[in-house]
Amino acid sequence: MTEHVFVETAGTPGAPLIMTFHGTGGSETDLHGFAAGLLPGAHVVSPRGNVSENGMARFFRRDAVGVYDMADLARRSDVLADFVGAARDRVGATRVIGMGYSNGANIIANVSFTRPGLFTDLILMHSQIPWEPDPQPGLAAARVLITAGERDPVCPPEETRRLIAWYADQGAEVQDHWHPGGHEMARSEVGAIQQFLAG
C-alpha cells in the first residue's frame, strides 16, 4: 500500500492534534482549513485517501454503496492507525482528535474499534457502519460526536442511531447532532463541532 499524501499545519508545543479525513472524491485540503480554525494553536494533519474509485480518492475499497471490502478496510485501517500514531508521537500531543466526513468518518470509526486508545475525541460526520462491531471496552474514556442528516440517502438514520447506541454501550461519552437534510454537511454541524471541542 502506498503511503498517504498529506498536508500539515504545525501547532504550538503541547497543543492538541486534529487529524481530518475527507469523504469519497475529496482531498487532503477539504477539512484542513476548517480544522485549523477550530482550536487555535492546534496541530492539524490531513491525509489523502490512497484508494482510487473511478478517479475519486477514498480510504478503503468497497464493492457497492454500503457494501465494504472488509479485508481491505482492515488492512488500510491498520496502516492509517500507524500513520496517526506516528503523527501523534511526532508532535507530542496527548489529545488526538479524529474528524472525518463520510468515507473518512467510516475508516476512523473502524480504527477506533480495534485501536481504541489512538483518538481521544472522534467527530464522525455522516458515517455509515453497516455491521455491529464487537464490544470495545477501551472506548470508555473516549469522547464521540456523531452528526447526521435525517434524510440522508447514503447513511440510513437507523444505522446512525445504532452506531450512537453502540458507542454509548462501550462507555464512551457520546453526543449526536441531526439536521433535517441529507448527506451534505449543514451549517448547524459546524456549531455542534465547535461546542463539542470546547466541552
Please tell me which residue in 72, 78, 176, 183 is annotated as part of the active site: 183
Catalytic site residue 127?
Answer: no
In the set 102, 112, 126, 127, the catalytic residue is 102
Q: Does residue 77 have an active-site annotation?
A: no
Using alpha carbons, select from 136, 133, 76 the residue that is nearest to residue 104.
76
Cα–Cα nearest to 30, from 46, 16, 10, 50: 46
State the alpha helices, DSSP H only, in the chain. Answer: 32-36, 70-91, 103-114, 157-169, 187-198
Read off the C-alpha cell for 147.
452528526
Residues 87 and 66: their CA atoms lie apart, in Å, by 30
Active site residue 102: yes
| Residues 193, 166 contacting (CB under 8 angstroms) | no
Taking only Cα atoms into account, the Rg of the chain, rounded to an integer number of angstroms, comes to 15
Nearest alpha-carbon partner for 74 in 63, 62, 60:
60
Other residues' Cβ atoms within 10 Å of the Cβ of residue 161: 14
From the list 121, 126, 152, 179, the catalytic residue is 152
Q: Which residues are catalytic?
A: 102, 152, 183
